[in-house]
């Protein structure tokens, strides 16, 4: 017969005291639910913080020289760091699962810095003209502001011809639940997605869905039969 060890009363009480705060802390943490209002406030705060960070980098990069003269030529490396540092600022803050699509948008759609367009006559090294540098800084500024310009959650209408197709919508880190067309998807978080629309005996339709730069709420898909050698399945926004 197996023996059963009984813990001393003092040790049992000590274990209960130690474990109970951990359980309470876990329950409290899991009970916090992000509402649309808190998510919108947080994404606006991230966008605003990135705008301020970018402005400081613009001031540093397009500063006047030691003689007080406006720089007419900018080191392309300085411009590249201005952009990459701003992108990193955003990526470090877009950590919520609800921000997964926006994180992909920042990772894949962030404006690329311009390459050198002439040689600096004084130094003989590649440089970017001031107008091109200013245009890039304005492009990055507009990109950062778009992130917090609209509510995070949108409603997306997905239809197909024929109906009854399965829609797979995902980001690099999160896969959404599959839905059958025609479908109304509520609370889809803005950002960048890949999608795949499939139906047996039909060719799949695949593509990228940008819910930041394109506000159109409908995705219409026309599916071509596997036996159709002339047509391909495709989707369009409207």
238 residues of the chain, pLDDT tens digit each: 444 344 444 433 332 333 333 223 322 333 346 899 999 999 999 999 999 999 999 988 887 655 666 778 888 999 999 999 999 999 999 999 999 999 999 999 999 999 888 777 777 788 899 899 999 999 999 999 999 999 999 999 999 999 999 999 999 988 877 899 999 999 999 999 999 999 999 999 999 999 999 999 999 999 999 999 999 999 999 9
- Answer yes or no: pTM beyond 0.85: no
* HEC per residue, the chain: CCCCCCCCHHHHHHHHHHHHHHHHHHHHHHHCCCCHHHHHHHHHHHHHHHHHHHHHHHHHHCCECCCCCECCEECHHHHHHHHHHHHHHHHHHCCCHHHHHHHHHHHHHCCCCCCCCEECCCCCCEEEEHHHHHHHHHHHHHHHHHHCCCCCEEEEEEEEECCCCEEEEECCCCECCCEECCEEEEEEECCEEEEEEECCCECCEEEEEECCCCCCCEEEEECCECCCCCCCCEEEEC
């Amino acid at each position: 017969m197996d023996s059963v060890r009984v813990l001393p009363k003092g040790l049992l009480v000590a274990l209960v005291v130690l474990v109970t705060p951990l359980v309470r802390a876990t329950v409290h943490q899991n009970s916090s639910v992000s509402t649309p209002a808190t998510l919108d406030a947080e994404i606006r705060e991230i966008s605003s913080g990135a705008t301020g960070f970018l402005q400081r980098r613009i001031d540093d990069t397009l500063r006047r020289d030691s003689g007080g003269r406006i720089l007419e030529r900018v080191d392309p490396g300085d411009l590249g760091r201005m952009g990459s540092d701003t992108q990193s600022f955003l990526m470090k803050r877009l950590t919520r699962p609800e921000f997964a699509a926006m994180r992909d948008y920042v990772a894949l759609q962030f404006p690329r810095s311009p390459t050198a367009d002439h040689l600096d006559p004084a130094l003989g090294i590649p440089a970017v003209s001031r107008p091109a540098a200013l245009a890039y800084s304005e492009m990055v500024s507009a990109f950062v502001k778009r992130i917090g310009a609209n509510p995070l959650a949108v409603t997306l209408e997905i239809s197909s011809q024929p109906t009854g197709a399965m829609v797979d919508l995902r980001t690099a880190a999160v896969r959404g639940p599959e839905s059958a067309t025609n479908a109304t998807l509520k609370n889809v978080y803005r950002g960048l997605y890949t999608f795949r629309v499939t139906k047996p005996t039909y060719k799949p339709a695949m593509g990228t869905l940008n819910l930041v730069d394109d506000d159109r709420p409908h995705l219409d898909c026309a599916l071509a039969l596997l036996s159709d050698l002339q047509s391909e399945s495709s989707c369009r926004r409207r």
